[in-house]
């Protein structure tokens, strides 16, 4: 069984648009204890069989988990089939990289199942062909991601804390948000300060430097994102931010009692609320 944890962006800065249509980014990401389950087993027949226990995701090549298995079969000339059982817990199209993490879990799982001679670095390269967030998900832990998100530099985990997440009942298209972004007008977080804060294990400094260039864009389409953020801050969150291209908003909270209070407060007007721990360290994927 492979765990496929969700990620949050502690900071996300968009630098400029590239010639290939993607944007150059600087993101600090960390994994959280909210994960899908990915179970892999051999199939006699030479095919990929995906069983996704969720009505929100497809069972065919459109599923990033299926695509990951296809890429692995091609790249390593694997003969023999694979059965993938995917149990979704991470909300879909939420800014939490659920699909990317499933794909990464399949890359790791196939390497293990077929005893392939590979490295996390090589798997991350294969992952980059599937999506910009897949490389980070292959490594897990906490990292600075640059390029279009595929260049990964490991960072220390944040100090232990709670993460309270609220996902409004809407899906957001990452492409639409990037397309609507006005880089000059947008807010840009201080990535270097965030990296330093992690290295210094300074929780308050981490909270102070959270920021997401895409947040203002998503808020224009979905004002409820700003409302959720405001509710979290009013209820006592140490920091509150939209993750990825949204629409999920999360809080960082040190004290148990406060985290519980924010969770209960949010539950009053949002169906999907989660209270989990930040994972942040690499070994948590095993
Ligand atoms: C918003 C984030 O999730 C933050 O972690 C990522 O930047 C997006 O990662 P992702 O969902 O894996 O994105 P992809 O599937 O690679 O790309 C979806 C679309 O988002 C836009 N995109 C994505 C990443 C990037 N660095 N620049 C972009 O402009 C492109 O229009 C692309 O067609
Ligand atoms: N295994 C999967 N799990 C979730 N969504 C998937 C999966 N495979 C394909 N998809 C499709 O990908 C789209 C985005 O899914 P996902 O949940 O990864 O978004 P996200 O959390 O916004 O990711 P990111 O933060 O990387 O932008 C959805 O439209 C969904 O149908």
What is the number of the ligand 1 atom nearest to the C-alpha of 21?
29
Q: Is 91 annotated as a binding residue?
A: yes
Residue 106: CB partners within 8 Å, gap ≥ 6? Answer: 2, 38, 40, 65, 68, 69, 72, 84
Q: Is 7 a catalytic residue?
A: yes
Residues of the chain with CATH 3.30.70.890: 162-283
Q: How confident is the model at residue 282 (pLDDT cuts 50, 70, 90)?
A: low
pLDDT at residue 37 in the model: 97
pLDDT tens-digit series, residues 158-169? 999 999 999 999
- Using a pLDDT cut of 70, give the percent of the chain over it: 98
One-letter-per-residue 3-state SS of the chain: CEEEEEEEEEEEEEEEECCCCCEEEEEEEEEEEEEEEEEEEEECCCCEEEEECCCCCCCCCCCHHHHHHHHHHHHCCCCCEEEEEEECCCCCCCCCCHHHHHHHHHHHHHHHHCCCCCCHHHHHHHHHCCCCCHHHHHHCCEEEEECCCCEEEEECCCCCCEEEEEECCCCCCHHHHHHHCCCCCCCCCCHHHHHHHHHCCCHHHHHHCCEECCHHHHHHHCCHHHHHHHHHHHCCCCEEEECCCCCCEEEEECCHHHHHHHHHHHHCCCCEEEEEEECCCHHHHC
pTM for this entry: 0.96
Domain 162-283 fold is Alpha-Beta Plaits (3.30.70)
pLDDT tens-digit series, residues 143-152? 999 999 999 9
Q: How far is the CA of 97 from the centre of ligand 2 (A)?
A: 6
Q: Is 99 annotated as a binding residue?
A: yes
pLDDT tens-digit series, residues 222-250? 999 999 999 999 999 999 999 999 999 99
The pLDDT mean for the chain works out to 96
Q: Is 47 a catalytic residue?
A: no
For residue 87, count CB atoms less than 10 angstroms from its CB and return exposed for 0-12, middle for 13-18, buried for 19 or more.
middle
Residue having the nearest C-alpha atom to atom 7 of ligand 2: 99
pLDDT at residue 54 in the model: 84
Q: How far is the CA of 236 from the centre of ligand 2 (A)?
A: 31
Residue having the nearest C-alpha atom to atom 3 of ligand 1: 244
Q: How confident is the model at residue 130 (pLDDT cuts 50, 70, 90)?
A: very high
Contact (CB, 8 A) for 227 and 219: no
Structure tokens that stand for 204 in this block: 């308050």
The mean per-residue pLDDT over the stretch 109-125 comes to 97
- The residue annotated as part of the active site, out of 13, 36, 133, 238, is 133
Q: How far is the CA of 43 from the centre of ligand 1 (A)?
A: 33
The residue behind tokens 């298995």 is: 69
Contact (CB, 8 A) for 48 and 59: no
Phi and psi angles of residue 220, each rounded to the nearest 5 degrees, phi first:
-60, -40
Strands 81-87 and 48-52: parallel
Distance in angstroms between the alpha carbons of the first and the last residue of the chain: 9
Which ligand has the minimum distance to the alpha carbon of residue 183?
1
Mutate to test the pocket of ligand 2, among 7, 31, 35, 57 (most ligand atoms within 8 A of CB): 57
Residues of the chain with CATH 3.30.230.10: 2-155
Pick from 114, 112, 113, 138: nearest CA to 125: 138
Pick from 62, 33, 32, 36: nearest CA to 50: 62
What is the number of the ligand 2 atom nearest to the C-alpha of 102?
1
**Cβ of residue 95 lying under 6 Å from some atom of ligand 2:** yes
What is the number of the ligand 1 atom nearest to the C-alpha of 136?
5
The mean per-residue pLDDT over the stretch 21-29 comes to 98
Contact (CB, 8 A) for 169 and 272: yes
Residue 286 has pLDDT above 50, yes or no: no
Whether cis (ω within 30° of 0) applies to the bond prior to 169 is: no
Q: Which of the pair, 272 or 281, is modelled with greater confidence?
A: 272
- Using a pLDDT cut of 90, give the percent of the chain over it: 94
pLDDT tens-digit series, residues 70-94? 999 999 999 999 999 999 999 999 9
Structure tokens that stand for 262 in this block: 């924010």
Q: How far apart are CA 275 and CA 177, in angstroms?
A: 26
Which ligand has the minimum distance to the alpha carbon of residue 95?
2
Q: How far is the CA of 22 from the centre of ligand 1 (A)?
A: 7
Q: How far apart are CA 95 and CA 284, in angstroms?
A: 21
Q: Which CATH class is domain 2-155?
A: alpha beta
């Amino acid at each position: 069984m492979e765990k496929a944890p969700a990620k949050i962006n502690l900071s996300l800065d968009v630098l400029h648009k590239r010639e290939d249509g993607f944007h150059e980014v600087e993101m600090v990401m960390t994994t959280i204890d909210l994960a899908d389950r990915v179970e892999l087993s051999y199939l006699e027949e030479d095919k990929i069989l995906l069983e996704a226990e969720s009505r929100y995701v497809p069972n065919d090549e459109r599923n990033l988990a299926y695509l990951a298995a296809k890429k692995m079969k091609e790249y390593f000339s694997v003969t023999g089939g694979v059965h993938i059982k995917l149990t979704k817990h991470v909300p879909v199209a939420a800014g939490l990289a659920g699909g990317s993490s499933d794909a990464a879990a399949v890359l790791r799982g196939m390497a293990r199942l077929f005893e392939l001679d590979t490295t996390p670095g090589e798997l991350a390269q294969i992952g980059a062909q599937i999506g910009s967030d897949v490389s980070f998900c292959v490594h897990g832990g906490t990292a600075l991601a640059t390029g279009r998100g595929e260049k990964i530099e490991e960072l220390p985990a944040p100090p232990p804390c709670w993460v309270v997440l609220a996902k409004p009942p809407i899906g957001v298209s990452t492409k639409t948000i990037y397309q609507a972004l006005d880089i000059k007008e947008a807010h840009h977080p201080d990535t270097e300060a965030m990296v330093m804060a992690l290295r210094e294990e300074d929780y308050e400094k981490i909270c102070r430097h959270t920021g997401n260039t895409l947040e203002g864009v998503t808020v224009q389409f979905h004002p409820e994102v700003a409302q959720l953020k405001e509710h979290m801050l009013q209820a006592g969150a140490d920091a509150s931010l939209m993750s990825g291209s949204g629409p999920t908003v999360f809080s960082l909270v040190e004290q148990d009692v406060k985290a519980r209070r924010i969770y209960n407060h949010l539950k009053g007007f949002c169906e999907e609320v989660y209270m989990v721990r930040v994972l942040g360290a690499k070994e948590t994927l095993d």
